[in-house]
Amino acid sequence: MGKTYNIGVMGGDGTGPEVTLEAIKVLNVASEKFGFKVNYTDYDFGGERYMKTGETLPDSAIEEFKKQDAILLGAIGHPDVKPGILEKGILLKARFALDQYINLRPVKLYPNVYTPLKDKTEEDIDFVVIRENTEDLYSGTGGFTHKGTDMEVAVQSSIYTRKGVDRALRFAFDYAKKRNAKKTWKGLSDKDKKDGKLGQLTLVGKTNVLTFIYDLWERAFNEMGDSEYKDIKRDYNHVDACCMWMVKNPEWYDVIVTGNMFGDIITDLGAMVQGGMGIAAGGNINPEGVSMFEPIGGSAPKYTGQNVINPMAAISSAQMMMDILGEEKASIKMEDAVKKTCKEMKSQAAGRMGMGTKEVGDLVAKYCIE
Ligand code: IPM
Ligand code: MN
């Protein structure tokens, strides 16, 4: 008998619960096939509960989350709640309290999925963004003085610690190494190969303007690379240039590592490049603790309850979860099933998939059993 995994499920707002159900459908099938068990504990945190009780994500829930093997999240964000309350009170609180210091966001074009990039194929669009997930402008450092007057000052500081940078870099270097153990990335030159390079890690920053924080990143990046990861080729892009290259030459990227704010922005661009929010998955990872997996897209309130939202990103998030939990075979099978299902879908856009939310889940589940 295989392992048993305890998964906390937070469907959240809007279409979140619907897509999460499809992810669970697929997980159940995969667990049966690969001989592990999944126990689910449901949590109803989100906009509705906040409006009824004023509660976002209480400390007691964090303590319960800590006892789970992982958390599966649908979406957070409600049209009747002021922006920031649920995002900070639930999503960011969970990321910070569980110290999920990595946000792992693969950008991978699946078969038959439309990319707005002309002449780019599955071969070209296959990279991973590793976003630092607990520091930067997200740390909440700052405030107002003279609020509401014409003297008002608003400050929000981007903070980085050496420890925070180092642990994100280490994860990224290790990830690049693991990803390229079989030399999968096609972008290495003959010289790189002769020099024994396996893959590439690109630091995305802004060293020409943010001369403190990205100076720290760059020094740490080079020090760690020189001393411990000689087999990984290092590259550097300013974040604005990265936006340009990601559209023009996505094949230049293997693994990207960047700060929280830049990572937030470039992964929305990445999501579009890989076919839209309907298919973009992410994982908030604490490699030593409890991780939380979520589709990158939001709660899409206008599509709620209509069986039209695309559950693929949620299913792929569950697939990432199984990979991180160590069920590699199940994860490979799930990804394979996702690819096969993509081939049968008309589009990855909500309402235009040529089938409903549940039917997408059914198909992935079917291909998981085969
Ligand atoms: C994301 C989201 C969140 C973020 C918001 C909802 C707080 O945009 O996961 O990328 O900025 O991290
Ligand atoms: Mn975002």
Per-residue confidence band for 35, with pLDDT thresholds at 50, 70 and 90: very high
pLDDT for 2 equals 85
In this structure, which residue's CA is closest to atom 4 in ligand 1?
A: 264
Residue of 264, 265, 291, 292 with the most ligand 1 atoms within 8 Å of its CB, for mutation: 264
**In 158-260, where do the E strands start and end?**
199-205, 232-238, 255-258
pLDDT in tens, 239-272: 999 999 999 999 999 999 999 999 999 999 999 9
Whole-angstrom distance, CA of residue 216 vs CA of residue 136:
12
Nearest residue CA, atom 8 of ligand 1? Answer: 264
pTM for this one? 0.97
User: How would you label 335-370 residue by residue, b for 16+ Cβ within 10 Å and e otherwise?
Assistant: bebbbbbbeebebbbbeebebebebbbbbbbebbee
Class of domain 1-108+280-370: alpha beta
Pocket lining for ligand 1, CB < 6 angstroms? 87, 91-92, 264, 296
DSSP 66: H
Pick from 321, 314, 273, 315: nearest CA to 296: 314
Topology of 116-273 in CATH? Isopropylmalate Dehydrogenase (3.40.718)
Do the strands 102-108 and 281-285 form a parallel or antiparallel pair, or are they unpaired? antiparallel
Residue whose CA is at the smallest distance from ligand 1 atom 10:
264
Q: What average pLDDT does this structure show over 188-203?
A: 96
Q: Whose CA is nearest to atom 11 of ligand 1?
A: 264
Across the range 189-203, mean pLDDT stands at: 96
**Ligand 2 centroid distance, CA of 41 (Å):** 26
d(CA 266, ligand 2 centre) in Å:
9
Q: For residue range 14-33, what is the model confidence (pLDDT) as tens digits?
A: 999 999 999 999 999 999 99
Mean pLDDT of 326-332: 97
State the average pLDDT over residues 55-71. 98
Q: Where on the phi/psi map is residue 140: left (φ > 0), alpha (ψ -120 to 50), or beta? A: left
Taking CA atoms only, the protein residue closest to ligand 1 atom 5 is 87
Give the model confidence (pLDDT) of 205-250 as tens digits: 999 999 999 999 999 999 999 999 999 999 999 999 999 999 999 9
Which pLDDT belongs to residue 57?
Answer: 98
Q: How confident is the model at residue 1 (pLDDT cuts 50, 70, 90)?
A: low
Q: Which ligand is nearest to the CA of 87?
A: 1
pLDDT surpassing 80 at residue 183: no
Give the Å distance between the CA of 237 and the centre of ligand 2.
20
pLDDT at 333 over 80: yes
In the chain, CATH 3.40.718.10 sits at: 1-108+280-370, 116-273
* CA 265 to centroid of ligand 1, rounded, Å: 9
pLDDT at site 156: 97
Picking from 256, 207, 206, 261, the residue whose alpha carbon sits closest to that of residue 232 is: 256
Average pLDDT over the chain reads 97
